[in-house]
Amino acid sequence: MYQLTVEQSFDSAHFLSGYEGKCGNIHGHRWKVVLSVEASSLKEDRQQRGMCVDFSTLKEMLKGILERYDHTLLVEKASLKEKTMEALLEEGFSVVELEFRPTAENFARHFYEQIKAKGYQVAMVQVYETPNNCAAYRE
Ligand SMILES: [Zn+2]
């Protein structure tokens, strides 16, 4: 089995609704996302001969998925008052509403599923919230 790993990152702010402690306040992270895909055989066509997937294709695909979250405020749906959401949007801030609590664990699964849906054989997605804290998801 071959395995390829690429990484990309994005910057965003979040808070954990209902969390008592520092993470309940709005703060920022540079989220690092490490994607590993696998393949049992290598391609044989000219351009990609001897490769699972072109690294640059993989990196661009991952970047494309993460773009939507870059330089935004990540908000779990219904965790802010409607009035607050309206005010943020009125100010022109980029807010991304999520169906899940924006933890590294949930993001790891969220990205895993999106990449799998694109037809990749995903081995694992790791999401670093800080250089020392990482959550991973695999099936
Ligand atoms: Zn955080």
CATH of the domain at 47: 3.30.479.10
What is the pLDDT at residue 83? 97
Rounded distance from Cα 16 to ligand 1 centre (Å): 7
Report which secondary-structure segment, H or E, holds 87.
helix 82-90
For residue 88, the CA-to-ligand 1 centroid distance in Å is: 19
Query: For position 9, what pLDDT does the model report?
Result: 98
Helices (H) and strands (E) in the chain, counts: 3, 6
What pLDDT sits at residue 84?
97
Low-confidence ranges of the chain (pLDDT < 70): none
Q: DSSP E strands: which ranges in the chain?
A: 2-14, 27-39, 72-76, 95-98, 122-130, 133-137
Ligand 1 center to 28 CA (angstroms): 6
Number of domains in the chain: 1
| Domain around 78 | 2-18+27-137
pLDDT at position 88 is 97
pLDDT at 114 (0 to 100): 97
CA of 34 to the centre of ligand 1 (A): 18
SS3 content of the chain, % helix, strand, coil (to 5): 30, 35, 35
- pLDDT confidence of residue 5: 98
pTM, rounded to two decimals:
0.94
The reported pLDDT for the residue numbered 6 is 98
The set of residues, in sequence order, having a beta carbon less than 8 Å from that of 93 and lying 6+ positions away, is: 73
